[in-house]
Amino acid sequence: MRIGFGYDSHRFCEGRELVLGGVIIPHEKGLLGHSDADVLTHCVVDAILGAAKLGDIGRLFPDTDAQYKDAQSVQLLKEVMAKLDGLGYAVCNIDATIVAEKPKLAPYMQAIEESLASHMNIDISQISIKAKTQERMGFEGREEGMSCYAVCLIERKN
């Protein structure tokens, strides 16, 4: 078994959709980024890549590469799962925490977990997504952006 850790953050901006785990979340602001800026999916991807020592999302999918402009991050997650499979590893479980003052994410958690599980081809019991505010401290607390932390355990397939 191997463990990986992921972290990501993105700045809020006007005129973009907020996408978390491939799910569009109703909010007056979206996140700024070259891709869809899906901070949760980026974080999960980095946790998986870290566990398998495959580098990081920026190295695999550079933001200087036009083919990743406005890319759906869950499609990158699918590619990373295929790489992991090719190496002979499977994901045991993912645990992630999204840090955001707003919007309230509890109503969307089930949909987010289902979306990630389906894009990863794992069972929903293997993925746990949580959300916290930052008690109005820091950039998340000032609603300048969102961040996310995730761990991933992988194991060699028999």
CB 50 within 8 A of CB 41: no
77 binds Mg ion (CB under 5 A): no
Vertex 42, ends 10 and 88: CA angle to 5°?
A: 165
CB 40 within 8 A of CB 96: yes
Strand partners, 95: 128, 151
Nearer to Mg ion, 67 or 125 (CB): 67
Segment near Mg ion (CB under 5 A); pick from 3-11, 20-28, 77-85, 87-95: 3-11
Nearer to Mg ion, 29 or 42 (CB): 42
Which of residues 8, 36, 46, 140 is near Mg ion by CB under 5 A? 8
Question: Please, what is the minimum distance in Å from the beta carbon of residue 137 to Mg ion?
Answer: 22
Question: Please, what is the minimum distance in Å from the beta carbon of residue 26 to Mg ion?
Answer: 21
- Contact set for Mg ion, span 26-65 (CB under 5 A): 42
Question: Please, what is the minimum distance in Å from the beta carbon of residue 30 to Mg ion?
Answer: 13
Rg of the chain taking only CA atoms, in angstroms: 15
The residue of the chain with the least Cβ separation from Mg ion equals 42
Nearer to Mg ion, 10 or 131 (CB): 10
Please report, for residues 41, 45, 69, the alpha-carbon distance to residue 59 in angstroms, rounded to integers and kept in the order given: 16, 12, 15
Count of Cβ atoms closer than 10 Å to residue 82 Cβ = 11
Strand partners, 142: none
Count of residues touching Mg ion (by CB under 5 A): 2
Interface residue list for Mg ion (CB under 5 A): 8, 42
